[in-house]
Amino acid sequence: MNKSTAEEAAFMGRITAGVTHEMKNVLAIIKESAGLMEDILALSKDRDAPESERFTRVISNIKQQVERGVDLATRLNAFAHSPDTRPAEVDLNILLDQVTRLSQRFARLKRVTLSITPQPEPVTLLSDPLRLQMLFVDCIDRLLKMVPAGITIHMEPVKLGSGQVRVTFLSEGAQQTPAQPTLADGLEELLASAEGLKGTIELGEPPVWLTVVFA
């Protein structure tokens, strides 16, 4: 990444991180306001009135959406800090979880579910966190164009011997043969662009579509 691109990424990250902090303040106010409504309702003489149940349901929805918003803001904040330190030691359990959650919308539009099978131990890699996320999001994007609706794409990071790390993308229920040139095109290049990172992309037959091995 050249200096000007790195500066642009750092600028985007700094602004996004600041905004996510403000978003969490907004969500904290909404949460406390919903909590106060709940408290007032609990103290109300009419708490057995039919409207009471509806209010309780609405308050519960608000609180659930606040939790969802907090989770998204937290992950967006972590993403925004990706350009801060490069290279950095990255735990792929955490990074893939973050990528998965931030890509949920793209998957939902295709009616595909994304999931990760984390390992009990950290699966660490010294790499460029931003480039790694670009690589994984690109892998997800390509698979979303190829897999049928209604399936789940699983990602699994595994620590191999001799310092290698493998990430497998597989989907149960997929019948299509992968259009390999489309799937592979440009991914090797993207992998090679990650600072201090060496690896290979291996294509497979469904359900195992793609394996990335970091040397």
Which residues are near another protein by CB under 8 A? 17-18, 20-21, 24-25, 27-29, 31-33, 35-36, 39-40, 43, 66, 70, 73-74, 77
CA 79/CA 133 separation, integer angstroms:
9
The least CB distance from residue 66 to another protein, in Å, is: 7
Minimum distance, C-beta of residue 123 to another protein, in the bound complex (Å): 23
Residue 64: strand, helix, or coil: helix
Which has the closest alpha carbon to 157: 136, 134, 143, 171?
Answer: 136
CB of 74 to another protein, least distance (A): 6
Burial 128-166 (b: 16+ CB within 10 A, else e): bbbbbbbbbeebbebbbebbeeebebbbbbeeeeeeebb
Alpha-carbon distance of 144 to 184, in angstroms, equals 14
Give the shortest CB-21-to-another protein separation in angstroms: 4
Nearer to another protein by Cβ, of 6 and 29: the residue is 29
Question: Rounded CA gap, 168 and 63, in Å?
Answer: 35
53 vs 67, which CB is nearer to another protein?
67
Residue placing its CB nearer to another protein in the complex, 72 or 144: 72
> Is the Cβ of residue 59 or residue 70 nearer to another protein in the bound state?
70
* Nearest to 154, CA basis, from 143, 142, 165: 143
Rounded least distance, CB 85 to another protein, Å: 13
Which CB sits closer to another protein, 27 or 125? 27
> Residue 38 CB: number of other CB atoms within 10 A?
16
